[in-house]
Amino acid sequence: MWHEVNFGKWSDKPKTLPQILVSDPDWFFWAVETGVFASRKTLAAEAEVLNRRARAIKIPAGQAPKNCVRYWISHDGKFSDMELIEASQPAHTGSSSEIRRDSLNLYAPRAIKDYDKLGCKLLLKSFKYYWFGGKAFTKIKVEAFFSDTTNFVKP
């Protein structure tokens, strides 16, 4: 289902959109926002689907519904971490702030601050840990994950 992006920064090492999303989400969301895929109908349609899914990832079945996603925002206003916690856990008090949601949004670091490569990297590390058991993001795994509509609130 997923076609390779073989232009721009991906011309030397083509990747599918799910591979790009888990290697450079900031670039993926920038490309969607600026219409990079608009002239490529197949990629544009795939990017639209993936953009929607990446913003509404269900909490893994074994941890839902008692858990929620907690995003940490550092005292200087940047994304700093994400974790799954029990929804009943009291709110954090301190210099960092938190945001809680019922689903994972891979756009979160970019929503907090444009061009946040470190924030995206930190989020992907937690995503890999909770959703992929800490194992590598292989082409087969990420394409299968983003193809399975049961993984998303808004497939």
H or E stretch at 16: strand 15-16
| Whole-structure pTM value | 0.94
User: Average pLDDT, stretch 74-94?
Assistant: 91
What local confidence, expressed as pLDDT, does residue 146 receive? 98
Spatial separation of the C-alpha atoms in residues 54 and 48, rounded to whole Å: 10
Q: How confident is the model at residue 131 (pLDDT cuts 50, 70, 90)?
A: very high
Q: How confident is the model at residue 101 (pLDDT cuts 50, 70, 90)?
A: very high
User: Average pLDDT, stretch 80-87?
Assistant: 95
Round the average pLDDT of the chain to a whole number and report it. 94
Residue 96 has pLDDT above 90, yes or no: no
Spatial separation of the C-alpha atoms in residues 8 and 39, rounded to whole Å: 14
